[in-house]
Copies of this chain bind each other. A is one copy, B any other.
């Protein structure tokens, strides 16, 4: 899963958190050290910014722009790929962000389905995606599905049917769902220059077996180094080792879920592990309660140290 010469995205991408100040404003100063941390300590080769982990839906368009710009700037020469998520509830906003992503030199854009008004068919969703893609006609385009958040259950396989006729820049999918029938059908249909990236970190091994080209997830912010080992083990056919690492990740995630695993808990864990000052989440996400913070970091160390 070495980076492909043609820019095909493979391997591990971290879905980055958005740093805020204590007052809740975006904190650009953390982004440089954040990129270095991911590269040096976690061995992560790409980033997926302003996505779900980045609380993009809680950001204004202006905030998303300055963040995207800083991520692209600081990642330049350090990350193999910086994908900027530009999906919004509003098509206008998404188009605005897509144009901006092109201007600032993003390596690609990703778009989630709108979820307040849910597309009623694959056709409606494809039309929405097409209109966004047209605003950045030279950028690789990725469709991002995460049904647990959006409630949109259009099979991805239906979305990508002959998709390059509609979106010539289409290059793949960030698939953050647990329907591996749909996932497998996407892998099977995938073109050689596409990337099918998996996004449910706690079952990555399953997706690798089904043919995933890489992975994008929030836990790679602080467990990327272990997951790189998982991927290496998988690639050399050592399923026992791969499984052992996967089960450790599952132990942590399973524990976190019992605590109420949301962006607040997730971000806190990243702060504890990395030492980066990421600040609180933004409402309606609540900060991680201090006792949960203590428990989750203890669990992390008990598993990985």
Hey, which bits of chain A sit against chain B, CB under 8 A? 55, 57-61, 63, 89-93, 96, 113-121, 123-125, 127-128, 131, 149-151, 157, 178-181, 184-185, 187-188, 200, 202-203, 205-211, 237, 239, 242-243, 246-247, 250-251, 253-254, 257, 260, 262-263, 282-286
Contacts and interface: CB of A to CB of B under 8 A. Distances in A.
Given A180-B206, A211-B243, A60 B92 contact: yes
A127 B283 contact: yes
Nearest to A202: B181
Contact of A185 (B124, B185, B254, B263): B254
A296 to B, nearest CB: 16
17 contacts: A58-B92, A59-B92, A60-B61, A60-B93, A117-B284, A120-B260, A124-B284, A127-B286, A128-B284, A180-B206, A181-B200, A181-B202, A181-B203, A184-B202, A187-B247, A209-B209, A209-B242
Nearest to A64: B90
A149 B152 CA distance: 12
Given A178-B178, A284-B114, A188 B247 contact: yes
Contacts of A200: 181
Contacts of A91: 58, 282-284
Given A60-B61, A117-B285, 12 more contacts: A59-B90, A60-B93, A63-B92, A114-B284, A120-B262, A127-B284, A151-B151, A178-B180, A181-B202, A184-B247, A206-B210, A209-B239
Contacts of A180: 178, 180, 202-203, 206
A158 to B, nearest CB: 10
Contact of A90 (B57, B211, B254): B57
Contacts of A117: 55, 57-58, 149, 262-263, 284-285
Contact of A246 (B114, B127, B210, B253): B210
Contacts of A205: 184, 209-210
A161 B114 CA distance: 32
